[in-house]
Amino acid sequence: MLLIANYEGRSGTEQSAKLLAQRENGLRAIIEGIKIVEANHDIHTVGLSSWPNMLGELQLDASVMDGNTRRTGAVGALRGFKHPVEVAYSIMQELSHEILVGEGAERFAREIGAIISKNETETSIKGWNNFIETTLTHEQQKNFPNIRLLDIKNTAIDPEKILANSVQDQANEQAKPFDTTVYLSIDHEKRISSATSTSGWAWKYPGRLGDSPIIGAGSYADSRFGACACTHTGEMTIRAGTARSVVLYLKMGLSVADAVYEAARDLADLKTGYLDEVTIHAIDKEGNYKVVGLNSSEEIRYVVWKPGMLIPEIKSAEIINL
C-alpha cells in the first residue's frame, strides 16, 4: 500500500492513510482525503474559499481515475458545490461519459444531490477585489464586467505576484496564486488510483480548464504500471500529456525516476506559450515513488504514507532545472 499527496493536500492525508490501512478501496480512500482539503477554508486553491476567476466567480475542477478499469470521472468549471471530487466520482459511477463541464456539470451535481455550497468567502472576494483595484484601469473598473477580459493582465502569474499583498493571512502558502491537491494510492488489492481537485489559477479567464480535470495531462492511473499527477503549470502538462507519458514510460520499462525525468525533458522542450514550473508526482506498481519539481524556485514538499508509518510523513522533492 502507498499514499502520495502534494503538500497542499496534507490536511486530508491522515484520513486517506487511515482508510487505506483499513483496507478501503484506494480510490475512495483518496477521495475522502481530498474532501477534507476541499472543505479547508485556509487553502485558497482547492474548494471552499479559493481565488475566483476574473469575473469573481469561483469555478472548480476535479478528477478521479480507477487504474484497474481505467474508468475516469472529471468535472470542469463547476460552481456552487462543496465537493467537486465527489461529483467527478459520480460521473464515473453514473454516466457513460468521462467529463462534464459548466452548466451540465451543475445540473448533474443537483440531480445526484451533491452538497451545495457558496464557496466564495470574504477572504476570496477580498483577494479578487484587490486584483480588480490594482490591475484594471479606472475606465475598465467603471465599465466592468462589460469590458474585453482579454485586455486584462493576469497578475497572479506575474513575477511580482501582486496577489501576495491582497489578503491579510498571506504569511505562507495560503496566499499562493495557484496550486491543486493531487493524491495517488495503491490499496491492499494493488489497485492504483489517482484523484485531483483545484480552483486552478487565481483570476483565470472564465471557463479556463487546467490540467487537473484533463486525464492524461494532470493525472493518470493504470494498475498494471503506476500513476502520475502534476501540479502547477497545467498549460504545459496539457501540451505534453505529462501524466499519461510518465505511465507510458513506466510501461516501456523505465524506472519511476527515469520516467519522471523523461517527462520533465518533454516539458522542458516546450519553448513557446506560458512556461513556468511543474511538479510531477509518480508511483510505480511496486510502491516506488518519485516527486520532482521542474524549474521550481522554492522547496517543493509532498506527503508519503505506507504501512508501518504511524502518520504520513512530509518529504522534499528533487528540484531539477532543464
Binding stretches for ligand ASP (CB under 6 A) = 178-180, 198, 200-201, 210-212, 218, 231-232, 234
In this structure, what DSSP letter does residue 214 have?
Answer: S
CB of 270 to ligand ASP, least distance (A): 14
Q: Which is nearer to ligand ASP, 15 or 212 (CB)?
A: 212
81 φ/ψ sector (left φ>0, alpha ψ -120 to 50, else beta) = beta
Smaller CB distance to ligand ASP: residue 243 or 250?
243
Give the contacts of 73 (CB within 8 A, at least 6 positions apart): 63, 64, 88, 89, 90, 91, 92, 93, 95, 98, 99
**Which lies closer to ligand ASP via its Cβ, residue 13 or residue 198?**
198
Q: Are 270 and 246 in contact (CB under 8 A)?
A: no
Q: Least distance (Å) from ligand ASP to the CB of residue 12?
A: 16
Amino acid residing at 181: T
How buried is residue 112: exposed, middle or buried, by Cβ count under 10 Å (0-12/13-18/19+)?
middle
Reference 4, options 32, 30, 25, 35; nearest CA is: 30
Mapping DSSP to helix (H, G, I), strand (E, B) and coil, where does residue 87 land? helix
Whether 284 and 274 have beta carbons less than 8 Å apart is answered as no
C-alpha distances in Å from residue 65, one per residue of 23, 132, 229, 252: 18, 37, 11, 21
Taking the complex as a whole, how short is the minimal distance between the CB of residue 17 and ligand ASP, in angstroms? 22
C-alpha cell at 99: 467529463
Amino acid at 238: I
**21 or 162: CB nearest ligand ASP:** 162
Minimum distance, C-beta of residue 146 to ligand ASP, in the bound complex (Å): 27
Q: How far is the CB of 281 from ligand ASP (least distance, A)?
A: 11
Q: Which is nearer to ligand ASP, 112 or 319 (CB)?
A: 319
Question: Nearer Cβ to ligand ASP, position 120 or 211?
Answer: 211
Minimum CB distance to ligand ASP smaller for 188 or for 301: 301
Sheet holding 181-186, edge to edge: 99-101, 71-78, 60-66, 192-198, 181-186, 2-6, 301-305, 313-316
- Nearest to ligand ASP of 16, 180 (CB atom): 180
Question: Min. distance of Cβ 150 from ligand ASP in angstroms?
Answer: 19
Question: Scanning the structure block, which residue is given the C-alpha cell 474559499?
Answer: 49
Q: What minimum distance in Å lies between the beta carbon of 305 and ligand ASP?
A: 21
Closest residue to bound ligand ASP by CB: 210
Rounded to a whole number of angstroms, the minimum distance from the CB of residue 62 to ligand ASP is 11
